[in-house]
């Protein structure tokens, strides 16, 4: 289907609800689909049961009873996440969230991937679920780089064996770049880079090496660096820089160009 025919279809029959939720910064498109199947989304008072539903401008769309806002401009921030914050909007256990810690006046944002409770460092935040999904895809080829302190000892030979990927507890992980920076007391300091970002991947890799992670800091996500950003500080990525890093085609896909 051509871009012109897609546009015409959208005008005639609306847009898929998951896309609308993502554009409003409610969640990524995949997570928006989960909200729908969980029965948490209504349109004009009717609870949806399929993400294939299409909506038209002006319809009353709500998530958990709260009406969604209009689509925000596509924006991206770098945030230096402290530990002891979860990367979800609502935590069933009542723990403090990243989103509660953000400065007043921030628009509604979602995270690009997640960092677990005790992981520190760079977390990307965006107003746009489509952009979040794009940046999370392994096909971007963007590496997530971590500084790791772990109890135990390892060596370059064991780390070199990870370069073609590794299977751990039945889960296949892609290629891993790992370097031993130093041994300090009973701890090893490592730099680890991964491309997939599977759930708790770095911790699983370290366990495979016989190490127990006691500090984990993400220092970069693709071209975006933690740099000198202070703990708890947030800084917007300039629009021009974001477009340059995405390239014209992907920037157009998410409405940036």
Highest mean pLDDT among 57-61, 69-73, 171-175, 189-193: 189-193
Distances from the Cα of 129 to the Cα of 26, 111, 134, 212, angstroms? 7, 9, 9, 34
Higher pLDDT, 59 or 212: 212
- The CATH number linked to 15 is 3.10.290.10
Say whether both 132 and 237 belong to one domain.
Answer: yes
Query: Which residue in 31, 64, 91, 116 is the catalytic one?
Result: 116
- The CATH number linked to 178 is 3.30.70.1560
Number of domains in the chain: 3
Give 218-239 pLDDT, tens digit per residue. Answer: 999 999 999 999 999 999 999 9
Q: What percent of the chain has pLDDT over 70?
A: 95
Helices assigned H by DSSP within the chain: 3-13, 17-23, 29-37, 98-101, 129-136, 156-160, 201-208, 239-246, 248-253
Say whether both 27 and 58 belong to one domain.
Answer: yes
Q: What pLDDT is attached to residue 10?
A: 43
Residue 100 backbone phi and psi in degrees, to 5: -75, -25
Range 118-130 average pLDDT: 93
Say whether both 126 and 236 belong to one domain.
Answer: yes
Strands 212-221 and 144-151: antiparallel
- DSSP 3-state assignment of 75? coil
Give 80-105 pLDDT, tens digit per residue. Answer: 999 999 988 778 888 999 999 999 98
Give 16-31 pLDDT, tens digit per residue. Answer: 898 888 778 787 777 8
Say whether both 237 and 206 belong to one domain.
Answer: no
pTM of the model: 0.80
Higher pLDDT, 257 or 179: 179
The span from the first CA to the last CA of the chain, in angstroms, equals 21
Say whether both 160 and 35 belong to one domain.
Answer: no
Give me the domain span that covers residue 48. 3-67
**Is 116 an active-site residue?**
yes
Say whether both 56 and 41 belong to one domain.
Answer: yes
Q: Which two tokens stand for residue 254?
A: 């998410």
Long-range Cβ pairs for the range 174-178 (8 Å, 24+): 174/138, 176/205, 177/143, 178/205
Say whether both 182 and 240 belong to one domain.
Answer: no
Say whether both 238 and 130 belong to one domain.
Answer: yes
For residues 72 and 127, is the Cβ–Cβ distance under 8 A? yes
């Amino acid at each position: 289907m051509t871009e012109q025919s897609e546009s015409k279809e959208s005008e005639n029959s609306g847009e898929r609800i998951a896309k609308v939720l993502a554009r409003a910064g409610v969640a990524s498109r995949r997570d928006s689909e989960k909200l729908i199947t969980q029965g948490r989304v209504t349109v004009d008072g009717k609870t949806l049961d399929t993400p294939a539903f299409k909506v038209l401008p002006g319809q009353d769309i709500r998530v958990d009873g709260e009406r969604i806002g209009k689509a925000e401009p596509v924006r991206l921030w770098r945030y230096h996440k402290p530990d002891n914050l979860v990367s979800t909007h609502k935590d069933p256990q009542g723990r403090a969230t990243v989103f509660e810690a953000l400065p007043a006046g921030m628009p509604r944002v979602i995270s690009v991937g997640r960092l677990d409770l005790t992981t520190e460092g760079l977390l990307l935040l965006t107003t746009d679920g489509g952009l979040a999904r794009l940046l999370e895809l392994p096909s971007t080829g963007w590496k997530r780089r971590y500084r790791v302190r772990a109890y135990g000892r390892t060596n370059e030979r064991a780390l070199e064996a990870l370069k073609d990927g590794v299977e751990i507890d039945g889960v296949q992980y892609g290629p891993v770049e790992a370097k031993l920076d130093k041994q300090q007391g009973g701890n090893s300091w490592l730099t680890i880079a991964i491309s997939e970002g599977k759930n708790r991947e770095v911790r699983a890799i370290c366990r495979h090496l016989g190490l127990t992670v006691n500090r984990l800091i993400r220092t970069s996500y693709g071209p975006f660096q933690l740099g000198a950003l202070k703990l708890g500080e947030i800084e917007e990525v300039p629009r021009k820089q974001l477009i340059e890093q995405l390239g014209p085609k992907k920037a157009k896909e998410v409405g940036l160009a």
